[in-house]
Structure 1
């Protein structure tokens, strides 16, 4: 059964050429660019409390660089959890794993092999509109539901939560505007990480979709490549 862990996602806006940071908690979303323990430590001194790191690539493999970033991240004393990004492979998967449960099992096995701390784990399913989703919205819905149920029903013996990363546009295009089932699953414990890069941290432009009346996170800035600690590209959001 799924266990509820509140999302710890207070964020800070970071845009190119802006390097003054407020000392408050925030999260960065990243994937492959290498981030060392010292760089993570630099980020925590800027107020970072959580990192969302994509570990499963949509081309169908566990991203070794993402795993290394996660290992370096959990070596810090200040962290409060591991946020893992899973982007489903939909076609031509490099590891030949075409079924969502097999992909998630491969992801979890790799995390275990690398000693990732599973005491508090959150897996976020990334809805990537650049991937070859079917024109059949019902088929796409089944892929997402399979991912949610696989994560939620694994007997991992630790606390975890499954969440979804998507924009309103991607949701409507891929699943259909009327598709709301994920928001109702597991007593409403499947949260939404809303992508809408408008440069504003608030929810003034939020419009309900997918059955969620409010997002857990608003990611409001992306393609960021200038920061005090690294040159990697991040996306930043705010609760």
Structure 2
């Protein structure tokens, strides 16, 4: 009797296992398929994401290169200026090749002119360097606003389509509504993610530029003091 009962029990267990595996296989979708369910607005959002990644990497490498300088650069320049070794100063700055070194080099080339003019020339070069660093960063600020908006528009149009289909088919089942709605919410979520990435990178890059500006202002002050007081008095 026990053996007789074991057969149906095992059969039911196997059937349940096979049904669960089949259901899992049917519900599992790739990440790409999941993203594409967000609708046509996912195409510009994905393009904005790729462009954001490109700008982020390109600007990070450029800004890191330009703002990286020898910590002893200004000390060496001041020491050389105090001893009147202008050729050595120029050689030191040429070897450094950074945004700050170009600002200091402009000041060195302007020695002999009024102090106000030297300072103005150095600040002008610093402004040009900052403008070069900020190139394309405004695009990230724009993407931070556009990407979430595209996502919301995609979701709204998707919801409109869902209710339009319901009005035609008169099928207001929960499964019909939720199935279509979750797909349309993908575009909103994706747009927000892209916007957050662009917003974060935009402010991080601007923070690095602000640090460069602070260092440059200090370097200009040290340079002006060095040529005004060549003996360090």
**Bin of the TM-score, shorter chain as denominator length:** under 0.3
Q: Which has the higher helix share?
A: 2
Comparing both chains, which one has the higher relative contact order based on Cα–Cα distances under 8 Å and sequence gaps of 6 or more? 2
TM (norm. structure 2) is: 0.22
Q: Which has the higher strand share?
A: 1
TM (norm. structure 1) is: 0.22
